[in-house]
Structure 1
Amino acid sequence: MTVRAMVVGMGHYLPERVVPNSEFETSLDTSDEWIKSRSGIERRHFAADGETTSMMGAMAAHRALDDAGLSANDIDAIIVATSTADLTFPSAATMVQAELGMESGFAFDVQAVCAGFVYALSNANALIVSGQAKRVLVIGAETFSRIMDWDDRGTCVLFGDGAGAMILEAGEGAGTKDDRGILSVDLNSDGRHRDILYVDGGVSTQSTGFLRMQGKEVFRHAVEKLAATARAALEKAGLTEDDIDWIVPHQANIRIIQGTAKKLGLPMEQVVVTVQDHGNTSAASIPLAMSVGKERGQLKPGDLVVTEAIGGGLAWGAVALRL
C-alpha cells in the first residue's frame, strides 16, 4: 500500500468588481485590443477596499469544504500560497484558520510568487505521505492590485485578485501511475534571474514597492522551463505526454500557455484556460483554474492533470496528479 494525497474538494472566490480592459483606456496609452493581442486577457477582478488576501482565501476554503462535505475541524493543516499576505506576520494561513473556526492543527504560508501553489501542493503532499497530516487545505490567494504601478502599462493591465482552494486527503494507492492523487512533483529555482520579475520594496527597505517585470525575458524563460518541468514531473511518475488528459497551467499569458502546450505536443483543447476572465492571479491562478475547470465539467474523476507554473525568483515547478 502506498499513501497518496488525493483531491477531495475544490473551491474558488473572485471579488465582485470586474475590470474590463476598456477601463484602462482612460488613464493609459493602451486599448482593449492591445491588451488582448499580447496577453489574451479581457477582464480581471479587483478586491474591494478592505477586502484582504486572507478574507478571499477563507471564502475559497469554505467552498472547497462544502465541495468535500467536510468541516473546518476535519482539516489537520492549512497552507496558503501568497506573495500579498495581509500583514508581515502572522501568516495569512493562521488568519484563514481563525475565520474558519478551526481550533486545532497548524497553518503556515508559502511564498514562491506565481509558482506558489505548486510549492504548496508539494508541501501538502509531503505532510500527507509522511503521516504528519491526514487532510490538508491548500489555498492560493492574492491581492496583486495592491502592488501595481498604475502608470506602467506593461504590468498593471496583466494582474488580478482572487483565491482558489483544494483539499488533499490521505488515501491508499497501489504505488502505480494509475493511482489517484499526487503522483509526482518537480520543483526548481534560480535566483540569478531575480531581477526580471520582482517587487522593488519590502520590510527591510521599509517600503511596499511595486511589481517590476522584464516581459520579454520572463516569456523567454517561461515556455522553455514550463515544458521542461512538466516533462520532469511526468517522467518521475512513469508517464508521458500521451497520458495527459488536461494541463492546468499558471494563467499568466495566453502566448505562454499556447507555447508550452505546443512544446508538449498537446492541443489547446486539452488545456484549461481562464486567463481571459481572471488575468494573472499569481499563486491563486492554478487553484482558480482547477475549480473553474471542474465547474465547467472539463475535469473529471480519473483524469490525469499536469499543473505547471513559473514566477519571480525565478521559481518554477509542476505537479502530476490524478483526480
Structure 2
Amino acid sequence: MVPRSRMIGAGAYLPARVMTNDDLARQIETSDDWIRERTGIRQRHIAAEGETTADMAAAAARQALEQAGRKGEDVDLIIVATATPNHTFPATAVRVQAMLGATGPRAFAFDVHAVCSGFVYALAMADRFLVSGQARTALVIGAETFSRILNWEDRGTCVLFGDGAGAMLLEAGEGTGTPADRGVLTTHLHSDGRHHDLLYTDGGVSTTGTAGTVQMEGREVFRHAVVKLAEVAREALDSAGVAAGEVDWVVPHQANLRIIEGTTRKLGIPAERVVVTVDRHANTSAASIPLAFSEAVRDGRIQPGNLVLFEAMGGGFTWASALLRV
C-alpha cells in the first residue's frame, strides 16, 4: 500500500460586506462594463473593520472540521497560506491554532507565503508531512485581506482583488499507487524571481517599514500566466499518467476570467468542467482555490471519486499545480 493524503472536509468564509463594480465606479474612474469586459469580475467581498486574516481563516477551518466531523484537538498540522498576515510575526497559523484549540502534543503550525500560488504550495507541504507520518491530520488554509494592501485610487489593481478564506482538511490514508487512489496524487511547484517587478508590493519590513500597496504590470502578468498555468497543469497530468479528458473538474486560481478561459482552452478542457467564482469573489489570492473548491463541494458539483486539478500563479513569479481525487 502507498500512503496518501485524503481530503475529508472543506470550508469557506467570505466577509459580509459586498462591494460591486458600481460601488467602485462611484469612487474611481471606472464602470461595471469596463471591469467585466477585462476581468469577468462583478463584485468582491471586503473584510470589516477589525476583521483579520486569522478570523477568516479560523471560520473557514471550523466549517471544514464540521463537515469532516472532527474537532480542533484532532488536528496535528495547520498551514496558512497568506500574503496578508495578522502580524509580521508570529505566524498567522499559530493564532488560528489557538482559536481552534488545536494545541495537542503533536501539533505545529506555520505560514506559507507564495501569494496566489500559496494554497497549492501549502497543500504540497501538508501532503509531504502526512505521507511521511509526521502528521496524521492537517488543515490547509488560504486566507487574505488584500483590501488592506490596495491603492483604492489605482483602477488597474483595486478592481481585481477581494477578501476571504478557504480551508481543506486532510487525513493520512492509503492507496495502491495508481491514479484511481483517493487523495493527493501529485503536486508541482515553481518560481522565477526574475519577474519580481511585474507583480509586487512597494513596501516591506526591511525596505520601507510599511506594508505597501499592490503594483502590477497587467499585460505582462496576463501573458506569462496563460503559458505557465497551462504548462504546470500539463505537468500534473503527465506525472499522474492521466489525460485532460479524465479530469472531472478544474479549480483554477480565480484571478481573471480571460486567463481561466485561455488556460483551459489550451488544455482542451470544456468550460462546463471549470469551477468559476471570480465573478463574485474577485481575486482572493491564496484563498481563491479553496474558496472555489469548497463551494463546488458544498453545492454538489464535486463528488467523491472525482478527479480535480488545481493550478495557480502569483507574484514572484510563483506557479503551481496539484491533482487529487476527492
TM range (shorter): over 0.9
How far off is 1:29 after superposition? 1.0
1:163 is aligned, of 159, 162, 165, to 165
Aligned partners of 1:40 and 1:192: how far apart in 2? 29
CA distance in structure 1 between the partners assigned to 2:5 and 2:29 by the alignment: 47
Shift of 1:132: 0.5
Counterpart secondary structure, 2:311: strand
1:216-238: CA deviations, max 9, x gaps?
00000001100100110111111
Q: Does 1:250 align with 2:246?
A: no
SS state at 1:168 partner: strand
* 2:146 and 2:161 in contact (8 A); partners too: yes
Listed one character per residue, the Cα deviations across residues 217-270 of structure 1 (whole Å, up to 9, x for unaligned) are 000000110010011011111112121111000000000000011000011000
CA deviation string 1:180-210 (max 9, x = no partner): 0000011110000010000010000212210
The Cα offsets for residues 117-173 of structure 1, whole Å up to 9 and x where unpaired, read as 000000000001111111100000000000000110000011000000000111110
2: distance between equivalents of 1:58 and 1:138? 11
Match of 1:174 in 2: 176
Normalising by structure 1, we get a TM-score of: 0.99
Secondary structure of 1:247's aligned partner: strand
Residue identity over aligned pairs, in percent, reads 59
Aligned length: 323
> Pairwise mapping of residues 44-55 of structure 1 onto structure 2 (< 5 A)?
44-55=44-55
Q: Match of 2:310, SS?
A: strand
Amino acid at match of 2:6: M
Q: How does 1:141-290 map to 2 (within 5 A)?
A: 141-205=143-207, 206-290=209-293
Q: For 1:84-141, what per-residue CA distance to the aligned partner results, in whole angstroms no more than 9, with x for missing partners? A: 0000000000000001112220000000000000000000000011111111000000
Offset of residue 19 of structure 1: 0.5
The reply on whether 1:38 has 2:38 as its aligned counterpart is: yes
- Correspondences of 1:285-304 after superposition (within 5 Å): 285-304=288-307
CA distance in 1, matches of 2:37, 2:286: 24
Q: Which residue of 1 aligns with 2:92?
A: 92
Give the CA deviation at 1:318.
Answer: 0.2
TM-score, scaled to structure 2:
0.98
Are 2:306 and 1:311 equivalent residues in the alignment? no
Instruction: Provide the residue aligned with 2:142 in structure 1.
Output: 140
Counterpart Cα distance in 2 of 1:11 and 1:229: 26
CA distance in 1 between partners of 2:49 and 2:36 (Å): 27
Superposed structure 1 runs of 4+ greater than 2 Å apart: none
Q: Is 2:251–2:292's contact at 8 Å kept on the other side of the alignment? A: yes
Q: CA deviation at 1:285?
A: 0.3
Give, in whole Å, the separation in 1 of the partners of 2:102 and 2:247. Answer: 36
Please state how far the C-alpha of 1:50 moved relative to its aligned partner. Answer: 0.3
1:117 to 119, 127, 131: 119
SS in 1 for 2:230: helix
Gap regions ≥5 residues in structure 1: none
User: Mind listing any 5+ residue stretches in structure 2 that lack a counterpart?
Assistant: none
